[in-house]
Amino acid sequence: MPFVTMLSRNLFALSRNGIISPVVRLAFARFWWMVPVRRVTVTREVFAFHHPRPSWATHILIVPKRGIAGLLTLGDREAPYLAAILATARELAPSLDVESLSLTINGGDWQDVGQMHAHLAAGENLFRPDDPESHESGVTMHPQPARQFHAVITPPSPLPSPAATRFVIDAVQQLVQEHDLAPAGFAIVVDPRRLTPVHLISGPSEYARGSTHMTRP
């Protein structure tokens, strides 16, 4: 096993320890360029790299170059980093040469590392958004839920514009609070080629329409 791969896997395993979450966020904010990973791309706001312990055949992580605890801590100053994650995923999607991709950001109990990050992935047993026929802007419950909780968030303008990103953040934070989703874990999932709508899912998958297992990377 190459030394860089072995080191990155060990550091990733260590980063799952919640006690050192502040250190993890500091590392990504100040020393991201030192993280021993196989990089895919780097932008002003984020960097993307191959997951050191992939859960799917294609598995890329997109991480902000700013310490952000998670989706529930996103404010006006952090919102551009979510927009950058979405934009980067859309730019990478055509080069991955796979038919079906999902971009997933875990939150609450589903988030194992104390730094917000996105999974751009394709492979077996991966939740893939099944968009309802209606594309009107707003927040609705999915007519055929894939999870116990399954909401569809459609911003009034295209993502990743600032207004649309802010709309999604506000909707996610409000829904998570109103339905107390954080203890059970939740995720936002989107097709990176279209970016809209955004699916907010939580809970067990007994309601699945086929393969909807959510691996906790």
Query: SS3 sequence, 41-53?
Result: EECCCEEEEECCC
pLDDT tens for each residue of 113-146? 888 999 999 988 888 887 766 668 899 999 888 8
pLDDT at 132: 67
Other CB atoms closer than 10 Å to residue 94's CB: what's the count? 10
* Predicted TM-score of the model (pTM): 0.82
Q: What's the pLDDT score for residue 179?
A: 97
Chain-centroid distance of CA 83 in Å reads 12
What the chain holds in terms of domains, given with CATH numbers, is 3-202 (3.30.428.10)
Q: What is the mean pLDDT of residues 211-217?
A: 38
CB 158 within 8 Å of CB 190 = no
Torsion 204-205-206-207 (CA) sign: positive
Distances (CA, A) of 201 to 12, 72, 119, 145: 25, 15, 15, 9
